[in-house]
C-alpha cells in the first residue's frame, strides 16, 4: 500500500506539472477547447489525490480487513426495531453502491415489524477501515408510522463494527472456554431451517462474548461461521484494549439511549442528519438512509488527525 501511495503521489506531481505547462501553451494560443479538456483532467487528478489522502488514514493493522456489522434495537419496541432494520438497509445499500459483497449472518425479527438484532458481513477493499467509526448509538426522530395519533417518536439502535480476521492472525480458542447452544432459526430460509436446530450460538465464557449464526441450513457451517466471528470479536477486543478504548466501547454496548448517540437522523419537525463527533451535516436524510454515507465516513476518518 505504501509503495502504491508514493508512486501515485509522484505521478500526480508530474501530471500537475505537465498540465500547468500545457495550460500556458493553451493560453498563448487562445485554445479554449483544449483548456476545457485540461480542466476535466485536473478535476480527475484532484479526485485521485483525494482518494489517496483518504487511504493514508486507512493504515492501521486491521483497516484492510472485511467486517461484521452488528445492529441492535434499543428500548422502545416496534419503533426501535423498525429503526434497526432501516439502518441495516442503509449499510446494505451502501455496500451495493460500492460494489462490495454483503451477506446476512443472523437475524432476530421484531414482534410486529423490523428486527431486534442482526449481523451482516461486508467484504471488499478496506471495509473495516471505512466503517469502523460507525460503531455507536444512532438516533432517529420521526412521525411514527405505528402511532395512530401520528405523534413524533425518538428511537435508538446500536451499531458495532468489528473486523473479519484472516488466516494470518492467530487467535487461540480453548474448547473448555466455550458454551455451544443450538436452536431453531427464526429467519427466512424455508421450512427446513425453521423446523431443525440448525442455528448456533457460542458463548466465550472468559469474556462473555456471544456470537450466533443461522444463515445456513447446515449446523456445521453455522458453527464454523460462529467460530470465525468469535475470533474476530476476540481480535477486536484486544485491539480495543491496546487503544485504551475498551471502556468507551463497553459503555456504547450497554446504554442504547439518550446522551450516547454518535449520529442523529431527524425526519420531523425538520430534516437533518448530523454526526455529533465531526459536526458534519446533511439536509437530505432520505439520500443518507439510501446508502449515501461516504461524506460521514470520510469526515470520521479525519477525526484521528
> Cβ(164)–Cβ(191) under 8 Å?
no
Query: Smallest Cα–Cα separation from 57: which of 8, 15, 1, 121?
Result: 1
Residues of the chain with pLDDT under 70: 1-2, 167-168, 186-196, 242-259, 304-305
Predicted pLDDT at 237: 84
Predicted pLDDT at 192: 41
Strand partners, 266: 141, 272
Structural element, H or E, at residue 139: strand 136-143
Measured over the CA atoms of residue 211, residue 187, residue 65 and residue 304, the dihedral's sign is: negative
SS3 of residue 154 by DSSP:
strand
Predicted pLDDT at 19: 86
Placement of cell 430534516 in the chain: 271
**190-248 tens-digit pLDDT:** 444 445 678 999 999 999 999 999 888 889 999 999 999 999 999 888 877 766 644 55
Structural element, H or E, at residue 261: strand 261-266
Verdict on whether the full-model pTM lies above 0.85:
no
Placement of cell 489522502 in the chain: 53
SS3 of residue 117 by DSSP:
strand
**208-222 tens-digit pLDDT:** 999 999 888 889 999
Report CA dihedral (39, 40, 45, 48) to the nearest 10 degrees.
Answer: 150
Predicted pLDDT at 243: 66
Dist. CA 286–CA 151, nearest whole Å: 20
Percent helix / strand / coil, the chain, rounded to 5: 45, 25, 30
Which set of grid coordinates corresponds to residue 245?
478504548
CB atoms under 10 Å from CB of 11, counted, come to 12
Query: Smallest Cα–Cα separation from 210: which of 262, 160, 261, 260?
Result: 160
**35-56 tens-digit pLDDT:** 888 889 898 888 888 778 777 8
Angle at 91 between CA 190 and CA 276, to 5 degrees: 140
Amino acid at each position: 500500500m505504501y509503495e502504491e501511495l508514493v508512486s501515485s503521489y509522484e505521478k500526480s506531481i508530474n501530471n500537475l506539472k505537465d498540465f500547468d505547462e500545457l495550460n500556458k501553451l493553451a493560453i498563448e494560443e487562445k485554445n479554449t477547447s483544449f483548456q476545457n479538456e485540461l480542466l476535466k483532467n485536473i478535476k480527475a487528478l484532484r479526485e485521485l489525490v483525494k482518494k489517496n489522502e483518504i487511504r493514508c488514514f486507512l493504515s492501521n493493522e486491521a483497516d484492510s480487513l472485511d467486517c461484521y456489522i452488528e445492529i441492535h434495537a434499543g428500548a422502545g419496541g416496534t419503533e426501535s426495531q423498525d429503526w434497526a432494520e432501516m439502518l441495516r438497509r442503509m449499510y446494505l445499500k451502501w455496500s451495493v453502491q460500492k460494489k462490495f459483497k454483503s451477506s446476512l449472518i443472523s437475524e432476530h425479527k421484531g414482534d410486529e415489524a423490523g428486527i431486534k438484532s442482526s449481523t451482516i458481513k461486508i467484504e471488499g477493499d478496506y471495509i473495516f477501515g471505512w466503517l469502523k467509526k460507525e460503531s455507536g448509538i444512532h438516533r432517529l426522530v420521526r412521525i411514527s408510522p405505528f402511532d395512530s395519533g401520528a405523534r413524533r417518536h425518538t428511537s435508538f439502535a446500536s451499531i458495532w463494527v468489528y473486523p473479519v480476521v484472516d488466516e494470518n492472525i492467530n487467535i487461540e480458542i480453548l474448547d473448555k472456554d466455550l458454551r455451544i447452544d443450538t436452536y431453531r432459526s427464526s429467519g427466512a430460509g424455508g421450512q427446513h431451517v425453521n423446523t431443525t436446530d440448525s442455528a448456533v450460538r457460542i458463548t466465550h465464557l472468559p469474556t462473555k462474548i456471544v456470537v450466533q449464526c443461522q444463515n445456513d441450513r447446515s449446523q456445521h457451517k453455522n458453527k464454523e461461521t460462529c467460530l470465525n466471528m468469535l475470533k474476530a470479536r476476540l481480535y477486536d477486543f484486544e485491539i480495543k484494549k491496546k487503544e485504551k478504548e475498551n471502556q468507551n466501547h463497553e459503555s456504547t454496548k450497554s446504554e442504547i439511549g439518550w446522551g450516547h448517540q454518535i449520529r442523529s437522523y431527524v425526519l420531523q419537525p425538520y430534516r437533518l442528519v448530523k454526526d455529533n463527533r465531526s459536526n458534519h451535516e446533511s439536509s437530505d436524510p432520505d439520500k443518507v438512509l439510501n446508502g449515501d454515507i461516504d461524506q460521514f465516513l470520510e469526515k470520521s476518518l479525519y477525526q484521528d488527525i
